[in-house]
């Protein structure tokens, strides 16, 4: 697909400096781009490449003052990074819109309801009474269990498994290998040391504009629903246990695990490898640093936390600073002990 600078400026509400008819057909990094590619500059560390890039069009911040001449056509916008992301999204949507129909072999039950302009890839399996909304893409090898509902404009990538009765909203993206609706980890200890499985009879509800990374797992509720609310972004390899609720616009980085029945507020940010205990609450706007362990509820909103067990971020940084000096402090304490022993000895001998 080809776009010219004037079209790009219209899509991102930018101002053109240079040739409004300059054309591009693909994207490239500013330091590697070739003629016919679109690039952007948002990080000042890369400004030097603006003056040498071969890109035909570059999106830049409207506040950037040029230090040297440039050969590329410039499109100035308030936020170059966001504008570039918008263009890439539109490009992806246009490419995906051309993909429709049902590839064979695939299995689609007679009771399935498919919306308009749906794509179903080869070896996909759609169970009884599945409902798929308009313009949704289901790629190769995906499995949708009985009575699964998927909204409009959603993307289910290759190899995704969605168990019976789960609900996926509109404009959701679920990446390859993710499993939604597998049984929660519920086992009742028995007197003889064995464990009796507790049936997991609920489901998972994923609301609109959620994106779930590859090979993540979201367990179905024991009763009721595990809920991933609107706008949540989960990285790859994230584990969400049964009956968890993740609040709107929360972001969770890779290798994080959230234990059962925990309630996470909206606009929470979790770094990688965070561990969250079960049956606790995390207040809105909390920021939890990577590799932290949250063992009890966070009740005050918009605070940062670090460490295991997690506590106030600023305090934890001070603790780390002091910890690095412990070897020197130990040495000084031992020297002081020697001095004290020497003084005591001299006092006794006096």
Q: Which residues contact 189 (CB under 8 A, 6 or more apart)?
A: 195
**In 10 A of CB 208, how many CB atoms?**
17
Torsion sign (Cα): 191, 195, 201, 205: positive
Q: How far apart are CA 32 and CA 14, in angstroms?
A: 23
Query: Which residue intervals of the chain are DSSP H helices?
Result: 5-12, 47-50, 80-97, 313-324, 326-349
Q: Name residue 59's beta-bridge partners.
A: 40, 75
Rounded CA-CA distance 253/233 in Å is: 9
Contact criterion met (CB below 8 Å) for 306 and 313? yes
Q: Residue 343: exposed, middle, or buried by beta-carbon count in 10 A (0-12, 13-18, 19+)?
A: exposed
CA 10: distance to chain centroid? 29
CA torsion, ordered 295, 296, 297, 299, to nearest 10 deg: -110
| Structure-derived torsion over alpha carbons of residues 46, 52, 56, 61, reported in degrees to the nearest 10 | 30
- DSSP-derived secondary structure letter, 9: H
Annotated active-site positions, please?
242
Q: From the CA atom positions of the chain, what is the Rg in Å?
A: 28
């Amino acid at each position: 697909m080809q776009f010219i600078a004037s079209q790009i400026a219209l899509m991102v509400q930018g101002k053109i400096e240079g040739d409004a008819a300059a054309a591009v057909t693909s994207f490239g990094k500013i330091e590697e781009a070739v003629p016919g590619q679109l690039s952007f500059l948002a990080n000042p560390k890369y400004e030097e490449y603006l003056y040498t890039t071969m890109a035909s069009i570059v999106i830049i911040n409207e506040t950037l003052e040029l230090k040297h001449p440039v050969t590329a056509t410039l499109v100035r916008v308030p936020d170059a990074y966001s504008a570039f992301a918008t263009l890439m999204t539109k490009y992806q949507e246009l490419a995906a819109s051309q993909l429709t129909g049902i590839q064979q072999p695939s299995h689609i039950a007679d009771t399935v309801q498919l919306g308009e302009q749906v794509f179903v890839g080869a070896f996909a399996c759609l169970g009884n009474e599945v409902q798929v909304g308009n313009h949704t893409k289901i790629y190769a090898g995906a499995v949708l269990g009985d009575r699964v509902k998927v909204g409009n404009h959603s993307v289910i990538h290759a190899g995704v498994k969605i168990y019976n009765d789960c609900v996926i909203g509109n404009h959701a993206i679920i990446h390859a290998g993710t499993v939604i609706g597998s049984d929660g980890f519920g086992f009742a200890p028995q007197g003889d040391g064995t464990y009796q499985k507790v049936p997991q009879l609920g489901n998972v509800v994923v609301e609109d504009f959620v994106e779930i990374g590859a090979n993540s797992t979201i367990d179905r509720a024991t009763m009721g629903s595990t809920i991933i609310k609107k706008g949540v972004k989960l990285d790859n390899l994230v584990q969400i246990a049964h009956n968890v609720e993740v609040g709107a616009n929360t972001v969770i980085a890779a290798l994080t695990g959230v234990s059962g029945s925990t309630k996470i507020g909206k606009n929470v940010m979790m770094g990688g490898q965070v561990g969250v205990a079960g049956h606790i609450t995390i207040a809105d706007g909390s920021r939890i640093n990577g590799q932290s362990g949250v063992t009890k509820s966070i009740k005050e909103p918009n605070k940062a936390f670090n460490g295991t067990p997690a506590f106030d971020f600023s305090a934890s940084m001070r603790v780390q600073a002091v910890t690095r000096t412990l070897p020197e402090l130990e040495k000084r304490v031992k020297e002081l002990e020697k001095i004290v022993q020497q003084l005591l000895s001299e006092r006794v001998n006096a």
